Amino acid sequence: MDNQVLEGKVALVTGAGRGVGRDIALMMAARGAKVIVNDLGSAGNGDGHDQGPAMDVVREIQAAGGEAAANLDSVADFKAAKGMVEQAMDTFGGLDIVVNNAGNLRDVIFHKMTEEDFDLVIGVHLKGAFNTSRNAADIFRAQKSGCFVHMTSTSGLIGNIGQANYMSAKMGITGLSKSIALDMGRYGVRSNCIAPFAWSRMIESIPITSPEQAARVEKLRQMTPDKIATVATALAAAKDVSGQIFTVRNNEIFLMSQSRPIRGMQRSEGWDVDSVLEHAFPAMAPNFYDLDVTADVFSWDPV
């Protein structure tokens, strides 16, 4: 590929054995990066281990003339995440890009969700993103450069049923990313989020309980992971984009809003319970958000 925008860069891509992570690893390698391909090789719910997916991606990158090495550890383990960063330094002599893509799903309606369901998803998505990012932070600070790309989700930004664990983790990731962008911007470090629409093993686990959901899932099948990889690779190459949240949906790219005040009220004598109930809440009600899910907000077919 002529435009090697990541020439000389080293990337750590987590969850890179399949789906979105795989395509990100392949595209970054095609654009010149040396890649640590991390993947535990677990099932979609986080169970099991298999070195095959990570090794397959490494071989694919090498066959195309690129450089890559496999890492088979879990991002949920802080020491293992440190090992991933050290592997990049030892194998390729540096680290410039961290893509926090590793994930799992344990979807269940909230009043039936177990502590294990919650902890396992938070541990991989949110704690995992912290683990890799924190271990890379000292290197990025010292070299006064670095890029983080984190995968959030419209499930967190908007909402979906039966995903309290996943939604909590993905909203947490947006806060983590913004904090990194604020704290490390002075050192030339950038941090952004992508909320991907793409067919993957995790999407396959979405319960289908209605014809409408079945139709939505069928549309998701048409949205391939390479569309996400394109934006992730562009963020790795961008020089002045940080603290943002993007949604990628087939050929559409959206810049997502971040929480800001939309309506305010003041009462000189102060508020009491009655005045809040009788005045504040009714006045603000026209601006209340409906209990939307992602499909309500992105209601049109992917373009």
For the stretch 96-124, pLDDT in tens is: 999 999 999 999 999 999 999 999 999 99
Q: What is the mean predicted confidence (pLDDT) over 190-215? A: 77
Residues in Cβ contact with 165 at an 8 Å cutoff, skipping those fewer than 6 apart: 106, 113, 117, 118, 120, 121, 122
pLDDT of res. 141: 98
Q: Indicate the pLDDT class of residue 2, thresholds 50, 70 and 90.
A: low
Q: What is the pLDDT of residues 277-286, one digit of tens each?
A: 999 999 999 9
Alpha-helical (H) ranges within the chain are 19-30, 52-63, 78-92, 115-122, 128-143, 154-157, 164-184, 201-204, 211-220, 226-237, 273-275, 281-284, 294-297
pLDDT of res. 203: 57
Cα–Cα distances (Å) from 156 to 118, 165, 204, 222, in that order, read 14, 10, 18, 22
166 is catalytic: yes
Alpha-helical (H) ranges within 64-163 are 78-92, 115-122, 128-143, 154-157
Calpha distance 71→123 (Å, rounded): 18
Are the CB atoms for 20 and 229 separated by under 8 Å?
yes
Q: Indicate the pLDDT class of residue 202, thresholds 50, 70 and 90.
A: low
More confident residue, 2 or 301: 301
Strand, coil or helix: 148: strand
Mean pLDDT of the chain: 93
What tokens does 96 get?
């410039």
Q: What is the mean predicted confidence (pLDDT) over 17-36? A: 97
Asked if pLDDT for residue 302 goes beyond 90, the answer is no
Q: What is the mean predicted confidence (pLDDT) over 203-211? A: 66
pLDDT of res. 266: 96
pLDDT of res. 216: 67
CB atoms inside a 10 Å sphere around CB 64: 12
Every domain of the chain and the residues it spans? 10-259
Asked if pLDDT for residue 1 goes beyond 50, the answer is no
Q: What is the pLDDT of residues 243-290, one digit of tens each?
A: 999 999 999 999 999 999 999 999 999 999 999 999 999 999 999 999
Q: What is the mean predicted confidence (pLDDT) over 198-209? A: 64
Calpha distance 188→172 (Å, rounded): 23
pLDDT of res. 125: 98
More confident residue, 290 or 48: 290
Cα–Cα distances (Å) from 160 to 207, 210, 233, 236, in that order, read 11, 15, 28, 29
Which CATH homologous superfamily contains domain 10-259? Answer: NAD(P)-binding Rossmann-like Domain (3.40.50.720)
Asked if pLDDT for residue 199 goes beyond 90, the answer is no
Q: Which residue type occupies 158?
A: I
Q: What is the pLDDT of residues 171-194, one digit of tens each?
A: 999 999 999 999 999 999 999 999
pLDDT of res. 196: 96
Find the catalytic residue in 92, 166, 199, 246. 166
Give percent above pLDDT 90 in the chain. Answer: 85
Calpha distance 21→26 (Å, rounded): 9
